[in-house]
Amino acid sequence: EEQKSLLLNSSSCFSPPQGVKLSYGTAGFRADASLLPSTVYRVGILAALRSLKTGSVIGVMITASHNKVSDNGVKIADPNGGMLSQHWEPFADALANAPSPQHLLLLINEFVAKEGILMDGVSQAEVLLGRDTRPSGSALLEAARQGVTSIVGAVVKDMGILTTPQLHWMVRARNKGIKASEQDYFEQLSSSLRCLEDLIPTEKSKFDELIDKVVVDGSNGVGGVKLKGLGRLLNALVIEVRNSSEDGGVLNDGVGADYVQKEKLVPHGFGSEDAGMRCASLDGDADRLVYFIVQPESSGRIDLVDGDKILSLFALFIREQLSFLNENEGLKNCYPCRLGVVQTAYANGASTNYLKQLGLEVNFTPTGVKYLHEKAAEFDIGIYFEANGHGTVLFSESLIEWLEARTKEISSGSKASEAEKAALRLLAVSKLINQAVGDALSGLLLVEVILQHMGWSIHRWNELYHDLPSRQLKVKVADRNAVITANAETVVVSPPGLQEAINAETGKYPQGRCFVRPSGTEDVVRVYAEASTQEAAGTLANSVTKLVD
């Protein structure tokens, strides 16, 4: 009874927008911020129920990532710090679209019964709330708080302004019983970085001759501010941050990883004076990272070093450590480590070829972090990246345990063997790189220390392979969901005949590759084409666009 009146009262303050149907897409709910208070309130309820169901801390992040500043969004972090379990997504949709408080109550009652959630008033639930720098964020955070606390026994912890990966990290840490403040996050990153720096082979540490700083575009968002905080804890690495939220520029406007990757143009705040420098760009909530090199002269063009190349760099480094690890070791000391990489159809074909040439197992999933993450978790070390710069490296529990045991035997003072150093490095990587979700800050630190380890400039790194020219287009259609795909979005199964037509077109181009898929975030069908020249990629994309239209 208490529960019922609590819910009816609080939900009457949050009426859903008229005539809008919201859906929990690949990145949670996203819309113009003015449409979202009721949705965020209801996600608060959902998070509290999820916490009751799992007996764990749950996270709610308020962000619209790389989208424009007037948009906002909300998504849930599950107990392990990953995305909300997919089987709860339909319930999220139903809650968000319930037309009245009575409907809402009915839905909740049904769902609570179906999932066997204990609402005895004694069970405790805890939800961590975070938001990015969007001006609409504080009111929406308040709505989330109202939602959570409308469930009896549920409490909120406001973690303030955070990057998305920080919130996911905190949820994961809390559920492992580890301290989970921002300070703890910074300390874990900086100490594992230091460990990797200390293990750089001396003959390779000729990094001083290279440019010793990285210049980072913070997309006028939260990432830049946090990176400055983190940077103060680092001793060797120099990070110059531009386009931080406190610099007054507009979030994601002509800046940020999405802009740099899609437009292949220099972001605001960068210019020809930066030509040849090692530059990087974060997106609005700092879960994407790309690097770039400004071309000389004022063309505004860049050489993009995208998520595929970050993945290749990580794969190369990890493969090297694994080979040291098992070199000259008896069977007893060998760990049969399964290394796998995961990409989407957007991965440049040249990157896939490169990875296969390294002898790596390359897997493909549909677009969206939840799919890549799930696949990568099947390996002892699973590296996943989207070309857009979202990705991370996952380590299995059993490998971490083995590495911990292996490194415990190393007596301090004595010289560690190559195998022992490799084990120490891998363990440090597992602590540095975010195990919950792709994280631009930890990704950046790992890229930087691997470049130092290799003694490589960004140019050397960029030369690992040459991207095939590609072109992306979008088509507005009456119903994007009429396009149904299979095989990790590489094949259209409906409407009939479309794939055959695409094949016929693609066959006309040397090294041609093309696929179409409905967007998960916009009301469009996307077309991606690759070919041996930029012109050919453009023509192929154009002609396939006409087939879709």
Known binder of ligand: residue 48? Answer: no
Helix (H, G, I), strand (E, B) or coil at 81: coil
Q: Are 373 and 83 in contact (CB under 8 A)?
A: yes
Considering beta carbons, is residue 13 or 486 the nearer one to ligand 16G? 486
Active-site residue (options: 11, 65, 136, 244): 65
Q: Is 369 in the site for ligand 16G (CB under 6 A)?
A: yes
Q: Is 388 in the site for Zn ion (CB under 5 A)?
A: no
Q: Are 545 and 473 in contact (CB under 8 A)?
A: yes
Known binder of ligand: residue 388? Answer: yes
Considering beta carbons, is residue 143 or 369 the nearer one to ligand 16G? 369
Q: Is 538 in the site for ligand 16G (CB under 6 A)?
A: no
Active site residue 34: no
Q: Are 317 and 201 in contact (CB under 8 A)?
A: no
User: How many CA atoms, within 13 angstroms, populate the side-chain half-sphere of residue 204?
Assistant: 14
Strand pairing class (339-343; 525-530):
unpaired
What residue spans of 433-483 are helical by DSSP H?
A: 440-454, 458-462
- Taking CB under 5 A as the binding criterion, the range among 67-75, 262-270, 276-284, 481-489 that sits at the site for Zn ion is 276-284
Distance CA 224, CA 244 (A): 4
CA quadruple 523, 437, 108, 9: dihedral sign? negative
Copy the structure tokens of residue 366: 């549909």
The one of ligand 16G, Zn ion, none whose footprint includes residue 258, by CB under 5 to 8 A per kind, is: none
The one of ligand 16G, Zn ion, none whose footprint includes residue 519, by CB under 5 to 8 A per kind, is: ligand 16G
Query: In the bound complex, what is the minimum distance in angstroms from residue 341's beta carbon to ligand 16G?
Result: 16
Distance CA 324, CA 274 (A): 37
Query: In the bound complex, what is the minimum distance in angstroms from residue 391's beta carbon to ligand 16G?
Result: 9
Q: Is 23 in the site for ligand 16G (CB under 6 A)?
A: no
The alpha carbon of residue 17 and the mean position of all alpha carbons in its chain are separated, in whole angstroms, by: 29
Copy the structure tokens of residue 218: 């913070």
Pattern of binders to ligand 16G over 487-526, x per CB under 6 A?
--------------------------------xxxx---x
Question: With CB under 5 A, what is the number of residues at the site for Zn ion?
Answer: 4
By CB under 6 A, the residues from 26 to 55 that bind ligand 16G are 26-27
Query: In the bound complex, what is the minimum distance in angstroms from residue 194's beta carbon to ligand 16G?
Result: 30
Query: In the bound complex, what is the minimum distance in angstroms from residue 429's beta carbon to ligand 16G?
Result: 22
Distance CA 81, CA 451 (A): 28
Q: Is 390 in the site for ligand 16G (CB under 6 A)?
A: yes
Query: In the bound complex, what is the minimum distance in angstroms from residue 346's beta carbon to ligand 16G?
Result: 8
The one of ligand 16G, Zn ion, none whose footprint includes residue 283, by CB under 5 to 8 A per kind, is: Zn ion
Distance CA 266, CA 146 (A): 42
At 150, phi and psi to the nearest 5?
-85, 0
Q: Are 125 and 149 in contact (CB under 8 A)?
A: no
Question: Count of CB atoms within 10 A of residue 394's CB?
Answer: 26
Number of residues assigned to the chain: 549
Considering beta carbons, is residue 268 or 370 the nearer one to ligand 16G? 370
Q: Is 283 in the site for Zn ion (CB under 5 A)?
A: yes
The annotated binding site is made up of 65, 283, 285, 287, 386-388, 517-521, 526
Which residues here bind ligand 16G, judged by CB under 6 A? 26-27, 367-369, 386, 388, 390, 519-522, 526
Catalytic residues: 65
